[in-house]
């Protein structure tokens, strides 16, 4: 968090006034719109060259949108730092947040001034990018209604026809029952009726079909607790736990990996969007197609969409709007249609052979356009990324837990969302922080650190001692300067932000004062309490286990040095891997349905364990994962063991002490400083675990792995509540500092040093 504040302050200082190009600077247009990896880059380069040719002296700069944890993080840094960004691409679930924070340019005046402009050229999905006045703030890139994918071969084998428009929940359930099978009679289902998607946007069609709504008509009150919504979620839950026709594999974080449907082991897959055709087009083992979603009281589906927008930091908004029109124009929309990135928002491209290509699956591609009359967005003026995060724990409980009170979970979701909506309404009335306050806190912190250093230096006595300290200060100066600039100053700014409300979509100059309100929220926030409990439980388990394992390996390598070099390399190598790589590897090991660990258990006649799906099993799974990276601690222990005085151990051996007594009374006391070091470092590392829960479980099931680092990221970057995230950082920093101080105080009783200072 401190480094984030430093980066934002630096960018803010460099950014300056975004409204117009600076005098003497070359004109340029900064564009950040990744589309399906690098496949669209040739088209983007061609568009760039043509645009530059039409506007002499203009330089179009294409930036990659990826590179951070979330695709929009880089754009938010530029917005917060007031650096130039003229065109970017956002998800429609974030449109409401960008609009509410004043982060987007109103395109309506520029579009109306162009006689060639006509909104009728676009499909009705363009209306999802309008504000309450009807003004357009973006143009659609690609979109997709949620549909149901099906395996035509499995349906034929069960004697069933392909689903047709207007089919019902009852027909869907009957087909799922008929295609769910335990082929070998071992009690394990090896062919599922449906691979059921589990995130909020995918669940919303079930709610709408059953007559429920998510928010009221004004977008001011949540309706998750309404009977129709509760009944819809109970139906979805019954597919998983009562009927047992639905598999658990289709969470959002694994939708781009090999799933049961892709493996030919599920008859249906959904609700899900067009993006799956991109990877399913390589399937040749069976015939697949798409159908509209089954209906209940009414037909309904959700729309996912990305859009091109002009951020408020654009220095050439008129030119940026023109470039947006080119991106949403026939040539580039046709390219996206051929790539298979989604249905183009431009009507002519969506109805062309580039999209409706009979030579590639699915054969019923027209379905994505046919369902549009009953398709709808999540209410576009709400911050649905934040709402989805708030509801994630309850939805995971509804879908994954063996026992769950669905009505109570829905009440909890409504309460959380109501609180979010109320806070967003209150933001406009908050008082802005005085200009330069953050910069002043940064400077004061640096001055205080310098004064403290000088005070410590002034305490020295004697010419010799003063000379030694002067030499030490010179040698420590680079580290001290780095610590001051990259920790002390940013930490002071973070502490100030903890008393404020600030979104990374707004400049730092628009920081609002809230006092202790963020800390009061922490006291009442069950998700923060759960994240703190999860982190404490993980640290209390993984740190001792890691220490014992690392010490055991070090002792083993000392006793058996013949294979020491090879073994050290094998044990230490995993600790060099990126946490992202570690998480990806362990996803294949811990997967509840197809994981290597469960396959090994089943081969031994033991029951499979739902490692990442059960709140009881997921923490041991993460502790097991942490044991894979004890190589660094092992090397520290091994180096310390090799430096021990062998005479003490020889004397104990001569006195008749066995291996255990020598370890307990001779080896461990000498290792106690190293043990303290590894314990402190392990404790800090346990509270900073992020990549593994982010990639493996997204904090679930429930809040079981929503560790504080992940919760801080979700609060700051996904819910755009950086003030609250700063309060979390301040509390965690205080708790860790207190824990470290208590550990050091207690260490006086059990840590033994070979030599002590005369003073």
pLDDT tens string 263-286: 899 999 999 999 888 788 888 899
Same domain, 598 and 503: no
> In the numeric block, which tokens belong to residue 727?
């309060």
> In the numeric block, which tokens belong to residue 737?
């500092």
Give residue 429's pLDDT: 81
Question: Mapping DSSP to helix (H, G, I), strand (E, B) and coil, where does residue 28 land?
Answer: strand
Same domain, 128 and 156: no
With respect to residue 663, please indicate whether it lies within any of the assigned structural domains. Answer: yes
Residue at token pair 């950040």: 32
Phi, psi of 546 (to 5 degrees): -65, -40
Same domain, 542 and 605: yes
Single residue among 514, 545, 575 that ends a domain in this structure: 514
Question: Mapping DSSP to helix (H, G, I), strand (E, B) and coil, where does residue 122 land?
Answer: strand
Is the bond preceding 631 in cis, omega lying within 30 degrees of 0?
A: no
Q: Which residues contact 60 (CB under 8 A, 6 or more apart)?
A: 28, 29, 31, 48, 51, 52, 323
Residue at token pair 């083993």: 556
Grade residue 757 by pLDDT with cuts at 50, 70 and 90: very low
What does the CA dihedral 506, 507, 509, 510 come to, rounded to 10 degrees?
0
Same domain, 71 and 173: no
| Dihedral sign of CA atoms 137, 142, 146, 147 in order | positive
Same domain, 36 and 93: yes
Same domain, 608 and 475: no
Give me the DSSP letters along 233-300: HHHHHHHHHTS--EES---GGGTTS--TTTTT-EEEEEEE-TTHHHHHTT--SS-EEEEPPPBSSS--
- What is the rounded distance in angstroms from the CA atom of residue 377 to the CA atom of residue 174? 29
Grade residue 71 by pLDDT with cuts at 50, 70 and 90: low
Single residue among 514, 539, 572 that ends a domain in this structure: 514
Q: Out of 11-25, 388-402, 699-713, which region has the weakest mean confidence (pLDDT)?
A: 11-25
Give residue 436's pLDDT: 76
Grade residue 14 by pLDDT with cuts at 50, 70 and 90: very low
Phi, psi of 750 (to 5 degrees): -130, -5
Residue 349, domain extent: 2-140+306-355
Same domain, 489 and 468: yes
The CB-side HSE value for 376 (13 A sphere, CA atoms) comes to: 14
CB-CB contact of 265 with 594 (8 Å): no
With respect to residue 160, please indicate whether it lies within any of the assigned structural domains. Answer: yes
Give residue 308's pLDDT: 96
> In the numeric block, which tokens belong to residue 416?
């959380």
Give residue 461's pLDDT: 58
| Cβ count within 10 A of residue 50 | 13
What burial class does residue 382 get, using C-beta atoms within 10 Å of its C-beta: 0-12 exposed, 13-18 middle, 19+ buried?
buried
With respect to residue 115, please indicate whether it lies within any of the assigned structural domains. Answer: yes
**Do β-strands 301-309 and 266-272 pair in parallel, antiparallel, or remain unpaired?**
unpaired
| Cβ count within 10 A of residue 485 | 15
> In the numeric block, which tokens belong to residue 642?
């090799």
Q: Out of 293-297, 358-362, 455-459, 697-701, which region has the weakest mean confidence (pLDDT)?
A: 455-459
Q: What is the pLDDT of residues 85-121, one digit of tens each?
A: 999 999 999 999 999 889 999 999 999 999 999 999 9
Give the residues across from 309 on adjacent strands. Answer: 88
pTM: 0.85
- What is the rounded distance in angstroms from the CA atom of residue 95 to the CA atom of residue 380? 7
Give residue 758's pLDDT: 38
| Cβ count within 10 A of residue 154 | 25
Phi, psi of 165 (to 5 degrees): -60, 135
Q: Check which CATH number belongs to the domain holding 672 and give it.
A: 1.10.3720.10
**Do β-strands 87-91 and 27-32 pair in parallel, antiparallel, or remain unpaired?**
parallel
CB-based burial, 546-573: b 16+ in 10 Å, e otherwise: bbebbbebbbebeeeeeeeeebbeebbe
Give residue 644's pLDDT: 84
Give residue 492's pLDDT: 85
Grade residue 472 by pLDDT with cuts at 50, 70 and 90: confident
- What is the rounded distance in angstroms from the CA atom of residue 620 to the CA atom of residue 78? 40
Give residue 563's pLDDT: 64
**pLDDT of 2 over the 60 cut:** no
Average pLDDT for residues 192-196, to the nearest whole number?
Answer: 95
Same domain, 121 and 160: no
- What is the rounded distance in angstroms from the CA atom of residue 692 to the CA atom of residue 683? 17
With respect to residue 412, please indicate whether it lies within any of the assigned structural domains. Answer: no
What burial class does residue 455 get, using C-beta atoms within 10 Å of its C-beta: 0-12 exposed, 13-18 middle, 19+ buried?
exposed
- What is the rounded distance in angstroms from the CA atom of residue 340 to the CA atom of residue 308? 18
Q: Out of 2-6, 40-44, 519-523, 736-740, which region has the weakest mean confidence (pLDDT)?
A: 2-6
Give residue 24's pLDDT: 55
**pLDDT of 202 over the 80 cut:** yes
Give the residues across from 63 on adjacent strands. Answer: 32
What is the 3-state secondary structure of 628-684?
A: HHCHHHHHHHHHHHHCCCHHHHHHHHHCCCCHHHHHHHHHHHHHHHHHHHHHHHHHH
- What is the rounded distance in angstroms from the CA atom of residue 608 to the CA atom of residue 379? 41
> In the numeric block, which tokens belong to residue 686?
């346990």
Task: Please count the structural domains in the chain.
Answer: 4
**pLDDT of 539 over the 70 cut:** yes
> In the numeric block, which tokens belong to residue 225?
């607790």
CB-CB contact of 193 with 266 (8 Å): yes
Closest C-alpha to 9, from 468, 437, 298: 437
Same domain, 591 and 737: yes
**pLDDT of 666 over the 60 cut:** yes
Phi, psi of 371 (to 5 degrees): -85, 0
With respect to residue 87, please indicate whether it lies within any of the assigned structural domains. Answer: yes
With respect to residue 659, please indicate whether it lies within any of the assigned structural domains. Answer: yes
**pLDDT of 295 over the 50 cut:** yes
With respect to residue 209, please indicate whether it lies within any of the assigned structural domains. Answer: yes
With respect to residue 294, please indicate whether it lies within any of the assigned structural domains. Answer: yes
What burial class does residue 121 get, using C-beta atoms within 10 Å of its C-beta: 0-12 exposed, 13-18 middle, 19+ buried?
middle
- What is the rounded distance in angstroms from the CA atom of residue 483 to the CA atom of residue 458? 21
> In the numeric block, which tokens belong to residue 449?
């650190």
Give me the DSSP letters along 58-115: EEEEEE-S-SSSSTTHHHHHHHHTT----EEEEEGGGHHHHHHTT-B---HHHHHT-T
Give the residues across from 196 on adjacent strands. Answer: 270
Same domain, 570 and 657: yes
Q: What is the mean pLDDT of the chain?
A: 86
Q: Check which CATH number belongs to the domain holding 113 and give it.
A: 3.40.190.10
Same domain, 465 and 569: no
Residue at token pair 């499979």: 608
> In the numeric block, which tokens belong to residue 628?
């894979």
| Cβ count within 10 A of residue 448 | 14
Same domain, 9 and 127: yes
**pLDDT of 459 over the 80 cut:** no
Give me the DSSP letters along 335-350: HHHHHTSSEESBHHHH
Helix (H) or strand (E) holding 151: strand 147-151
CB-CB contact of 64 with 94 (8 Å): no
Closest C-alpha to 13, from 504, 717, 507, 723: 507
Helix axes 526-559, 384-400, angle to 10 degrees: 70
């Amino acid at each position: 968090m401190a480094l984030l504040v430093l980066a934002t302050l630096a960018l803010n200082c460099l950014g300056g006034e975004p409204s117009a190009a600076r005098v003497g600077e070359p004109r340029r247009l900064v564009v950040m719109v990744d589309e399906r990896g690098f496949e669209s880059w040739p088209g983007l380069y061609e568009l760039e060259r043509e645009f530059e040719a039409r506007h002499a002296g203009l330089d179009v700069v294409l930036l990659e949108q990826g590179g951070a944890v979330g695709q929009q993080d880089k754009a938010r840094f530029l917005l917060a730092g007031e650096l130039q960004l003229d065109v970017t691409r956002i998800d429609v679930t974030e449109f409401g947040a960008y609009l509410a924070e004043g982060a987007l340019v109103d395109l309506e005046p520029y579009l109306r001034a162009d006689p060639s402009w006509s909104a009728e050229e676009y499909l009705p999905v363009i209306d999802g990018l309008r504000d309450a006045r009807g003004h357009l703030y973006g143009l659609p890139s690609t979109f997709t209604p949620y549909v149901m994918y099906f395996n035509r071969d499995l349906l034929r084998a069960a004697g069933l026809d392909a689903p047709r428009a207007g089919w019902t929940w009852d027909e869907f359930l009957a087909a799922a029952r008929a295609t769910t099978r335990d082929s070998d009679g071992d009690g394990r289902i090896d062919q599922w009726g449906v691979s059921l998607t589990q995130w909020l946007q995918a669940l919303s069609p079930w709610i709408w079909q059953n007559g429920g709504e998510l928010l009221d008509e004004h977008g001011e009150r949540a309706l998750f607790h309404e009977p129709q919504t509760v009944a819809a979620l109970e139906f979805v839950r019954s597919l998983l736990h009562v009927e047992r026709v639905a598999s658990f594999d289709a969470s959002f974080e694994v939708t781009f990996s090999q799933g049961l449907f892709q493996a030919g082991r599920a008859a249906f897959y959904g609700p899900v969007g067009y993006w799956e055709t991109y990877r399913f087009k390589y399937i040749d083992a069976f015939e697949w197609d798409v159908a509209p979603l089954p209906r209940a009281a009414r037909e309904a589906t959700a729309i996912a969409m990305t859009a091109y927008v002009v951020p408020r930091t654009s220095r050439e908004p008129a030119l940026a709007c023109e470039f947006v029109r080119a991106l949403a124009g026939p040539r580039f929309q046709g390219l996206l249609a051929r790539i298979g990135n989604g249905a183009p928002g431009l009507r002519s491209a969506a109805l062309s052979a580039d999209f409706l290509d009979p030579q590639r699956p699915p054969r019923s591609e027209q379905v994505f356009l046919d369902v549009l009359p009953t398709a709808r967005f999540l209410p576009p003026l709400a911050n649905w990324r934040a709402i989805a995060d708030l509801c994630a724990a309850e939805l995971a409980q509804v879908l994954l837990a063996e026992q769950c009170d669905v009505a109570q979970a829905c009440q909890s979701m409504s309460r959380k969302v109501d609180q979010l909506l109320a806070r967003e309404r209150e933001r406009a009335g908050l008082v802005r922080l005085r200009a330069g306050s953050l910069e002043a806190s940064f400077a004061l912190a640096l001055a205080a650190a310098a004064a403290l250093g000088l005070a410590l230096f002034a305490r020295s006595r004697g010419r010799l001692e003063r000379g030694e300290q002067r030499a030490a200060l010179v040698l420590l100066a680079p580290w001290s300067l780095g610590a001051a600039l990259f920790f002390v100053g940013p930490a002071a700014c973070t502490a100030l932000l903890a008393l404020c409300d600030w979104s990374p979509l707004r400049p730092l100059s628009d920081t609002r004062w809230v006092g202790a309100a963020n800390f009061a929220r922490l006291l009442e926030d069950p998700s923060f309490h759960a994240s703190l409990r999860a982190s404490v439980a993980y640290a209390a388990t993984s740190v001792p286990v890691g220490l014992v394992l690392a010490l055991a390996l070090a002792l083993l390598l000392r006793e058996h040095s013949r294979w020491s070099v090879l073994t050290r390399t094998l044990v230490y190598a995993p600790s060099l891997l990126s946490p992202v790589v570690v998480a990806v590897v362990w996803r294949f090991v811990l997967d509840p349905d197809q994981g290597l660990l469960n396959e090994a258990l089943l081969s031994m006649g033991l029951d499979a364990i739902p490692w990442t799906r059960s709140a009881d099993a997921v923490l041991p799974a993460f502790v097991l994962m942490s044991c894979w990276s004890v190589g660094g601690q092992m090397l520290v222990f091994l180096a310390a063991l090799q430096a021990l005085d062998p005479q003490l151990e020889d004397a104990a051996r001569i006195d008749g002490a066995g291996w255990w007594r020598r370890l307990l009374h001779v080896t461990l006391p000498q290792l106690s400083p190293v043990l303290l070091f590894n314990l402190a470092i392990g404790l800090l590392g346990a509270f900073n675990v992020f990549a593994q829960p982010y990639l493996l479980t997204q904090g679930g099931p429930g809040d079981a792995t929503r560790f504080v680092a992940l919760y801080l990221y979700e609060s700051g970057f996904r819910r755009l509540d950086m003030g609250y995230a700063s309060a979390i950082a301040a509390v965690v920093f205080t708790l860790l500092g207190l824990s470290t101080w208590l550990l050091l105080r207690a260490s006086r009783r059990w840590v033994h040093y070979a030599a002590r200072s005369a003073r």
